[in-house]
Amino acid sequence: MPSPVSSIRNLGPAFEQACARAGIHSAEELRELGADAAYARLIEAGTRPHFIGYYVLVMGLQGRPWNDCKGDEKKALRARFDRIKAGTKTAPVSKLVAELDAVGVRVSAADLTPEG
C-alpha cells in the first residue's frame, strides 16, 4: 500500500494536497521523481514557487529537518531552485487567461488603467 506524501519528514497536509493537484499521490512516487522534477510539476500545477518550500522538500526527501540547510549547500539549492523556476511554465490563473495565452493575447493591468 502506498504511503501518503505527508509521511515524509517536513511535509504536511497542505503539501500533500499540492502534490495531489500535480498528480503525485504517494511518498514513493515523490521519492522516485526527486525534488527537482516534483517541484517543477507543482509549479506547473499552480503552486506558487517559493524557495523555502523547495528546500523543505529537498531536506524532507533526505530525512533531514527543514532548517538543516545552510551556507554553501543553501546557495547551491537556491541556484537549482532558480533554474527550476525559470524553466517551468506556471499554470494560468484561469481558463480565459490560458485561452488568451494560446492565441498570443494578454492584457496587462497597465492597459486597464485609465490615463489621468
109, part of any domain: no
Q: What is residue 106's predicted lDDT score, i.e. its pLDDT? A: 56
107, part of any domain: no
Distance CA 33, CA 22 (A): 12
Residue 34: strand, helix, or coil: helix
Tell me how crowded residue 50 is: count the other CB atoms within 10 A of its CB. Answer: 13
Determine the structural domain holding residue 36 and report its residue range: 5-91
Q: For the chain (length 116 residues), average pLDDT per consecutive 10?
A: 96 96 97 98 93 96 94 96 91 63 59 50
Q: How many domains does the chain have?
A: 1
Q: What is residue 114's predicted lDDT score, i.e. its pLDDT? A: 54
Q: What is residue 98's predicted lDDT score, i.e. its pLDDT? A: 60
Residue 115 sits at φ, ψ, to 5 deg, of -80, 140
105, part of any domain: no
Q: What is residue 116's predicted lDDT score, i.e. its pLDDT? A: 43
Please tell me the pTM assigned to this model: 0.77
